[in-house]
Structure 1
Amino acid sequence: MHIQNLRREQAEQFWKLRLEALKTQPEAFGSSYEEQVHTPMNEVESRINDEPDNYILGAFTEEGELIGMAGFRREQGRKMRHKGMVWGVYVTSAHRGKGIAKALMQEILRRGQAIEGLRQIQLAVVTANTAAASLYKGLGFVSYGLEKEALMVDGRLYDEEFMAYFLG
């Protein structure tokens, strides 16, 4: 497996994995499959950036299959630029338990250290996703809040825990 930034020419591969994530784990994401499935490919391509503070990492097999992803973007406002956010972390079910999500997150944290002025990296995780929450805590993320009933999926309510990793 290797990890690299996704490029716009990999948009179709990325979007297939993103839609899989939204369909198979709807409670884990704020976006829904139904809202996203008809997104035009040129819009998907425009979401893929290759900047030091705005990118999507992909985890690829040696054969080039995209099996995991994680996005990062830095806040843009003058008063918020000291924060970045992780979004869209997902690994295909066939490749879970192999340390792929951990490797993606470690790469985001490593890169975060090199971004001048970045002080913290934040994320939100559904509390029902205990494996993800445990991974993030194991990497040094700390909880700073809980939103009760943050998401409703098929009539079921889910709480979200907000976490931050403090750099330096």
Structure 2
Amino acid sequence: MPTDYHYTYFRVSKTEDLDRSAQRYRDLRLQALKLSPASFAATYESEALLTDEYWKWRLSQPGRETFVCAARPEANPNAFNEEDLEWVAQLTLLGPRTKEEFTLPAASGQPEPGPDDEEERWQLLGLYTLSSHRGRGIAKRLCAEAIKYLVEYRVEPKNVHVRLMVKPGMEAAVRLYRGLGFVEVGSCTLAEALIANGEGDLLPEGYEVKEKFCARGGHVMLQCFTRDSV
């Protein structure tokens, strides 16, 4: 019989209990890379070698916000133990991004960003839910938590654009994001996606002439909202 869980959604602190948070973030990230390798550009083999200090740096890095869903069994709802919590889903926001950082080549079809004083831009990446917890609306709730953070981040500019990129062939992911309010606005190369996601260091030397990195087949998706209408 499936276990019932209580779910909590929150932004991970960059300072409080960082050692423990980094360990949990690492464990979930490595599970994602091992169980769903096609969803990521990075590999389990490469990230399993990273140090504890790296994972703490990744969580506390300026311009990077991590959001998590934590689960605990409802067998005893009156008891609470930190060790009962399991991180089961996460996503990351990078930003705010400048107009230059957000711009893609005209061939992408993505609309040109507006002036920096008129719109704020973020890149969403790394949305993942453990398979044992899927089908419970977690991705939707987690995205809502991230959007709530952006609404409260500051007053101006009013217009906020959140972008994500999906690898070619991941039609299930595209459908998921459509259901979360994103619309497809263009196409991207693997190189453009890696750079936009802050993973440009994964690009090999000479990638500019390699079909794998330059073929335009990825999905560029965007969600736009105004802070005073959410």
1:2 aligns with 2:23: no
RMSD (Å) for aligned C-alpha atoms:
2.6
Going from structure 1 to structure 2, the CA distance change for 1:135 and 1:68 (only over 3 Å counts) comes to same
Query: Counterpart of 1:132?
Result: 173
The TM-score with structure 2 as length reference comes to 0.62
Going from structure 1 to structure 2, the CA distance change for 1:149 and 1:55 (only over 3 Å counts) comes to closer
Are the counterparts in 1 of residues 187 and 218 from structure 2 also a CA contact under 8 Å?
A: yes
Residue 142 of structure 1: CA displacement? 1.2
Are the counterparts in 2 of residues 58 and 66 from structure 1 also a CA contact under 8 Å?
A: yes
Residue 34 of structure 1: CA displacement? 2.0
Q: Which has the higher strand share?
A: 1
Percent identity over the alignment is 25
1:35 aligns with 2:46: yes
The one of 10, 14, 19 equivalent to 2:30 is 19
Query: Which amino acid counterpart does residue 33 of structure 1 have in structure 2?
Result: Y
The one of 157, 161, 183 equivalent to 1:142 is 183
Q: Which has the higher helix share?
A: 2
Residue 160 of structure 1: CA displacement? 2.1
Runs of 4+ in 1 over 6 A off after TM superposition: 148-151
Query: Which amino acid counterpart does residue 160 of structure 1 have in structure 2?
Result: G
Query: Which amino acid counterpart does residue 186 of structure 2 have in structure 1?
Result: G
Residue 148 of structure 1: CA displacement? 6.2
Alignment of 1:46-85 (within 5 A): 46-49=57-60, 54-62=64-72, 63-77=84-98, 79-80=100-101, 82-85=120-123
Residue 90 of structure 1: CA displacement? 0.6
What is the distance in 1 between the residues matched to 2:51 and 2:181?
A: 37
Going from structure 1 to structure 2, the CA distance change for 1:102 and 1:50 (only over 3 Å counts) comes to farther
Query: Which amino acid counterpart does residue 70 of structure 2 have in structure 1?
Result: F
What is the distance in 2 between the residues matched to 1:120 and 1:92?
A: 27
Q: State the aligned residue count.
A: 162
Residue 146 of structure 1: CA displacement? 2.0
Query: Counterpart of 1:161?
Result: 219
What is the distance in 2 between the residues matched to 1:40 and 1:149?
A: 26
Secondary structure at 2:68 match in 1: strand
Secondary structure at 1:72 match in 2: strand
Q: For structure 1, which segment, 128-137 or 86-95, has the greater mean C-alpha deviation from structure 2 after superposition?
A: 128-137
Are the counterparts in 1 of residues 160 and 225 from structure 2 also a CA contact under 8 Å?
A: yes
What is the distance in 1 between the residues matched to 2:161 and 2:122?
A: 6
Q: Describe the superposition over 1:69-93 as per-residue Cα deviations: whole angstroms up to 9, x where unpaired.
A: 0111214447556210111111111
What is the distance in 1 between the residues matched to 2:189 and 2:59?
A: 31
Q: Describe the superposition over 1:11-57 as per-residue Cα deviations: whole angstroms up to 9, x where unpaired.
A: 11110110111121111112122221101110110111387x63111
What is the distance in 2 between the residues matched to 1:35 and 1:50?
A: 20
